[in-house]
Each structure stands twice: as structure tokens, then as C-alpha cells.
Amino acid sequence: MSVPLMLGGIPIVLHAGAPELSEQDAGASTVLRMSDGAGYKMTRYQKMAGSISGQGWMPPGLDGLDYAEPLELRSTQVSTMQSTGLVFNLVSTPRPDQAPWAFALVGDEWLAAEVATVAGVATVTAVAGATQYQVWWFPVYSVFATRPPKSQSSSTATHSWSIAWEEA
């Protein structure tokens, strides 16, 4: 199960460095307080943002991308959900080239479980004795990214690069 990180259709090859990924919420929400002190969370939208960086023997080859337009980011940062139930409404779109996979907790062991995904809903096949289930997937996002800052070291023959991205 080795799928590459991809941005704008360009795979980030291992020679460009094993990608370091971060992902965080970039939504617009705030907690409002009522006169009695009760808090209510108000959310206008939910989006993700993050960064990707690497250091390797060659640059990642992303200079030809059009950073003025949204780009498809096929992430290798795993997303997971856990429940006692078998049906999961996934919070992001799974990569089309890597189907979600699942695990079932039986005793103190996580065992592989069958899972089917249709229209963002993953359904795990029940496993005898399981008390919890997890579904894992690699998400795909439409993102705005910045042209990667980069550096090159002649003394170590390495190329360093980083990309900031935000869901469109």
C-alpha cells in the first residue's frame, strides 16, 4: 500500500524527500457566551489547511503548477474515525486511487476488517467479538497552495522545500 502524495497531478517521489505533513482546521467558528455564561459554538464553515515539506536528493518538480488556481491534493496523511457502530459518514473525500480500510478491536487486538464505501459512507462488516471499529482513509482536497520556498545545499547535495495549502 504505497501511494505517493500528489499535488496538481504531480507525484512527490521519494528522492525529493519523504514528505512531512501537517493538517489543521481552518474553519470559521467561535464560542459565543450568553448572559448566563452558557457557551454556544457558532460555525460558518469547515475547511482544512496544512503544510508539506521535504528534503531529498532532487526537487519535487512542482514549479510548473498554476498556483493561481485550485489544485488537487491527494494526501497521505491518514484520516480516521472510531465508533462502536458499523456505519461511518466520512468527514472528507477518500482518494480515488486508494480505498478506505478498516479495523475491528477484538479483545486488545486491532484486526483488519472488510469495509465498503459508497458516496462518502463507509460500512464495516461486523467482526465477531469486536467492541470498536475504525475506518482509515487518505483524503483528497481541492486546495490553494503557494509556490514552494526551496533551498539547495551543495555541501550535502540536498534540496529542501515546503508547501503551505488551504482547502478551496
Residue range 47-70: average pLDDT? 96
Burial of 39 per CB tally in 10 Å (0-12, 13-18, 19+):
exposed
Q: Is the pLDDT of residue 21 over 90?
A: yes
Could you give the CA distance from residue 102 to residue 115 in angstroms, rounded to a whole number?
Answer: 6
Q: Provide the pLDDT confidence category of residue 10 given band limits of 50, 70 and 90.
A: very high
- What tens digit of pLDDT does each residue of 74-103 get? 999 999 999 999 999 999 999 999 999 999
- Assess whether pLDDT exceeds 80 at residue 1: no
48-68 average pLDDT score: 96
- Ordered by start, the domain boundaries in the chain are 1-29+41-77+139-168, 78-137
pTM: 0.88
